[in-house]
Amino acid sequence: MLGLYEVSAGYGKTEVLHDVSFEIKENGIYILLGRNGAGKTTTLRVIAGVLPPFKGKIKKEGNIGYLSHSFALPQEMSVKESLEFFSQIIGGDPNNVIGRFHLEDILDKRISSLSQGQKKKLSLAKVFLKDYNIYLLDEPTENLDPILASEIRKLIVSLSKSKIIIYTSHNLYEAREIGNYVIVIDKGSISLFKPINEIKLREYTIGIRASEDLSKILKGKYQGDYFVINLNDPAEVNSIIQELMRRNINIFEIKEMRNPLEDLLR
Ligand SMILES: Nc1ncnc2c1ncn2[C@@H]1O[C@H](COP(=O)(O)OP(=O)(O)OP(=O)(O)O)[C@@H](O)[C@H]1O
């Protein structure tokens, strides 16, 4: 369980979060969305306890693992030394994370010489050294190659059955793929807190490039080369493809034109 009750917070005299309230009782992945500077990182910092709020109450049951955006790794240590150091402080066995986060080849490298993605892998390894009840993950897949990003998403999805995970991301496709709930923060205030399914189902827009004029066959309109169709459910794509194939129309391309989550940030 995690609850924020009329929490205001900021830096110096500047208030960044204004009366933020929400309660999380169910396990799952809560995607925290918002424009740059909206207050996502500040929200996570307040929950993690590294930034004391100006006012309000925070209730947390269980321990918290925090993947910070700006976590300072010990630059002079090697990857291996840093993992041993973290495990002495917070517990856990480095051997359990070395393979999981593909750190084998960089164990002897100094942290100061790592790429951004390698640093991210190490920061993730630190968070997953130990088992927590609540995970706060600030852009966990940023700077990762697509293979590792996909593995991290799978790991997070499998964990989410028994954990509360708050996840910030600017990747709306990723958010849609793995999120159970979406929390939108707009200029320091919560503007939406909803199951992601309800948002997914609202509208789905695809564009089709094909060998024939589709306006005589389907409901929609042309935008450039693409015939654009609004669907209520992504599964409707299947019947459209079948219909076009039945008419011997060649489909060159089908793409998603707009992600419904985008609308939440406007
Ligand atoms: N250490 C700090 N000192 C002063 N102001 C800060 C500090 N950190 C953040 N801010 C300000 O607080 C506001 C919210 O920042 P925050 O990092 O929480 O936003 P965010 O939603 O995580 O943004 P982004 O998507 O760009 O990472 C911004 O206006 C930012 O300039």
Q: Best of 18, 40, 166, 190 to mutate for ligand 1, by most ligand atoms within 8 A of CB? A: 40
DSSP structure string for the chain: -EEEEEEEEEETTEEEEEEEEEEE-S-EEEEEE--TTSSHHHHHHHHHTSS--SEEEEEE-S-EEEE-TT----TTSBHHHHHHHHHHHH---THHHHTTTT-GGGTTSBGGG--HHHHHHHHHHHHTTS--SEEEEESTTTT--HHHHHHHHHHHHHHTTTSEEEEE-S-HHHHHHH-SEEEEEETTEEEEEEEHHHHHTT-EEEEEEESS-GGGTSS-EEETTEEEEEESSTTHHHHHHHHHHHTTPPEEEEEEEE-HHHHHT-
Q: Is 36 in the pocket of ligand 1 (CB under 6 A)?
A: yes
Q: Which atom of ligand 1 is nearest to the CA of 42?
A: 18
- Are residues 225 and 194 both part of a single domain? no
pLDDT higher than 70, residue 185: yes
The CATH number covering residue 210 comes to 3.30.1490
* Total-model pTM: 0.84
- The residue segments making up the domain with residue 56 are 2-199
Q: Mean pLDDT, to the nearest integer, of 169-187?
A: 90
57 and 139 within one domain: yes
Using the mean position of ligand 1's atoms as its centre, give its distance from the Cα of residue 38 in Å.
7
Shortest-distance Cα residue to atom 30 of ligand 1: 37
Q: Which of 167, 199, 231 is the last residue of a domain?
A: 199
Listed residues 177, 199, 221: the one ending a domain: 199
Same domain? For 10 and 71 the reply is yes
Ligand 1 pocket test target in 7, 8, 11, 36 with most atoms within 8 Å of CB: 11
> What mean pLDDT do residues 114-137 have?
93
> Is residue 264 pLDDT above 90, yes or no?
no
Domain tally for the chain?
Answer: 2
Mean confidence (pLDDT) of the chain: 92
Say what percent of the chain tops pLDDT 90.
Answer: 73
pLDDT category at 52 given cuts 50, 70, 90 is: very high
| Same structural domain, 209 and 186 | no
Mean pLDDT of 220-225: 91
Same domain, residue pair 237 and 107: no
Atom of ligand 1 nearest to the CA of 35: 25
Query: Do 62 and 80 have their domain in common?
Result: yes
Q: Domain containing 127 — which CATH number?
A: 3.40.50.300
171 pLDDT above the threshold of 70:
yes
- Same domain? For 186 and 209 the reply is no
Indicate if 66 and 177 belong to the same structural domain.
Answer: yes
Q: End of a domain among 148, 177, 199?
A: 199
Residues 115 and 207 in one domain: no
* ipTM of predicted assembly, 2 dp: 0.98
Of 24-28, 68-72, 139-143, which one has max mean pLDDT?
Answer: 24-28
Residue 202 pLDDT: 61
Based on the fold, state whether residues 122 and 254 are members of the same structural domain. Answer: no
* Residues 258 and 219 placed together within one structural domain of the fold: yes
Q: Identify whether residues 249 and 193 lie together within a single domain.
A: no
Report whether residue 264 contacts ligand 1, using a CB cutoff of 6 Å: no
The pLDDT value given to residue 9:
98
